[in-house]
Amino acid sequence: MHFCMIFYYYFLSDLDEDFVISPSMDTRVQKNSLLALRCKPPAGIPSPAVSWWKDGRPLDTHKHKRLYLKSDSNSSLVIIRKAKLTDGGSYSCVASNSLGRRESAMVKVTVYGKFTTCIFYMATIVRVL
């Protein structure tokens, strides 16, 4: 009976499968466009809570009104409206339950803007008397 309890505990701590994250590779988005990241975490018992991290820190959707997060035990979606250059970075999805934690591979997001060239002309006016 004691052996069965240890095996049962091990089974509960297991998070099956790998993450499915989209986009699955590094991506580039234009400034002021929409950025969507989707993650399907591994299954586990108990069901894992899903969170997003950027550059090694939890993504704070309450601090930024342009960020929308929707998560359940099956998937998680982050939408960033009007992407800014500061939204670029390394994003990952984390699944955790009372018995363990797993992190997806990181996806590097680069936000680029249109480059404009400004040319300033200096003119010297000489008045001849």
In a domain, residue 9? The reply is yes
Residue 76 structural domain: 2-112
CATH number for the domain including 40?
A: 2.60.40.10
Mean pLDDT of 40-47: 85
The CA-based angle 59-50-37, given to 5 degrees, is 60
Q: Number of structural domains, the chain?
A: 1
In a domain, residue 29? The reply is yes
Distances 49 to 16, 45, 57, 100, 114 between C-alpha atoms, Å:
14, 11, 16, 11, 38
In a domain, residue 129? The reply is no
In a domain, residue 125? The reply is no
In a domain, residue 28? The reply is yes
Position 17 confidence tier, pLDDT thresholds 50, 70, 90: low
Kindly report whether the global pTM for this prediction surpasses the value 0.85.
Answer: no
Q: How many whole angstroms separate alpha carbon 53 and alpha carbon 61?
A: 11
pLDDT over 90 at 85, yes or no: yes
In a domain, residue 43? The reply is yes
- Here the tokens at position 24 are 């699955």
